[in-house]
Amino acid sequence: MATWADVSLSTPMTIVGVDEEPKDFDSATGLEAKCPMCRAQTSASLDEARHAALRSNYPRTYIERQTEEAEVEDGRESIQTITLYIGNRHSLITPAENSTNMHEWTFFVKPSRTDIIEEVQILLHPTFRPSRIIRSRPPYEIRRLGWGYFTITAAVILRAGYGWVSSDAEPSPDGVENGMLRLDWELDFSSFDGKGAMGRCRLKVKNDRQWDGGEDPEDEREMGRMVKQYQRDGRYEPPEEE
């Protein structure tokens, strides 16, 4: 069951309350997948009693199976699953004079790992000025007032060397393959007693490569992203002129 669920891991969005905190993905207890027969959403967890019985009754087969799984995991070690939340908090307010804005909302993207995120681009309705906001550091969120709801798109861009394992992934703005993933969220003003809601996603990320100083164009793009990342973190020192 655990092996099937790991292979069949999908990326459905589970709606939860805004107070749930992001946690690292636990492959033993956090698997969420659709049954290949009925397509119902399921989860997998280890049956400790059965696990112990199998190990005791079939020691040789158990060791062989462990060896096989270790070999499979070696091939997957560069792929990780992260938890990402996208959603909004909400509260009703008294509109100012000559205003119809009665909703105060905060849109956010909360990944369980922020160390691999280069930036999040937030695309609002074109009536907002500005309608495109970039957040390069957590928290990746914005607060606004409004009179109605609409769909917000968040483009989550990974740092150099990482790529999304998804058919929906796109090249990042600087051309790195699978470096950007767009997620849509319709503002929610009614769920959970009007406090807002968020969607929980399980997403796969691959640690593609390390920059090796070669002259390949992709190497140069990744080096540029790393320099930008270090400049933002205050750790970049330009090379001394000879």
Question: Where are the domains positioned within the chain?
Answer: 2-79, 80-233
* pLDDT-wise least confident of 16-20, 22-26, 64-68, 176-180: 22-26
Residue 216's pLDDT is 52
Q: Is the pLDDT of residue 150 over 90?
A: yes
Averaged over 28-38, what is the pLDDT? 52
Confidence of residue 39 (pLDDT cuts 50, 70, 90): low
Q: Is the pLDDT of residue 55 over 90?
A: no
DSSP 127: T
As given in the structure block, the two tokens for residue 175 are 């051309």
The b/e string for 41-66 (b: 16+ C-beta within 10 A; e otherwise) is eeebeeeeeeeeeeeeeeeeeeeeee
Residue 209's pLDDT is 56
The DSSP element (H or E) to which 232 belongs, if any, is helix 217-233
Confidence of residue 29 (pLDDT cuts 50, 70, 90): very low
Are the C-beta atoms of residues 230 and 115 closer than 8 Å to each other?
no
**Taking the CA of residue 45 as centre, how many other CA atoms within 13 Å lie in the half-sphere pointing to its CB?**
6
Q: Could you give the residue ranges of the DSSP H alpha helices within 44-201?
A: 48-57, 59-76, 191-194
* pLDDT-wise least confident of 62-66, 109-113, 169-173: 62-66
Residue 50's pLDDT is 83
Q: Tell me which of 38 and 208 has the higher pLDDT.
A: 208
Confidence of residue 144 (pLDDT cuts 50, 70, 90): very high
86-142 pLDDT tens trace: 999 999 999 988 899 999 999 999 999 999 999 999 999 999 999 999 999 999 999
Residue 76's pLDDT is 52
Among the ranges 10-19, 36-45, 107-116, which has the highest mean pLDDT value?
107-116
How would you classify residue 97: left for phi > 0, otherwise alpha for psi between -120 and 50, otherwise beta? beta
Q: Tell me which of 30 and 1 has the higher pLDDT.
A: 30
Residue 67's pLDDT is 77
**Taking the CA of residue 149 as centre, how many other CA atoms within 13 Å lie in the half-sphere pointing to its CB?**
16
Averaged over 8-15, what is the pLDDT? 64
Q: Tell me which of 150 and 48 has the higher pLDDT.
A: 150
73-84 pLDDT tens trace: 555 557 889 999
Q: Classify domain 80-233 by CATH number.
A: 2.60.40.1970
222-242 pLDDT tens trace: 566 666 655 655 555 555 555
Confidence of residue 213 (pLDDT cuts 50, 70, 90): very low
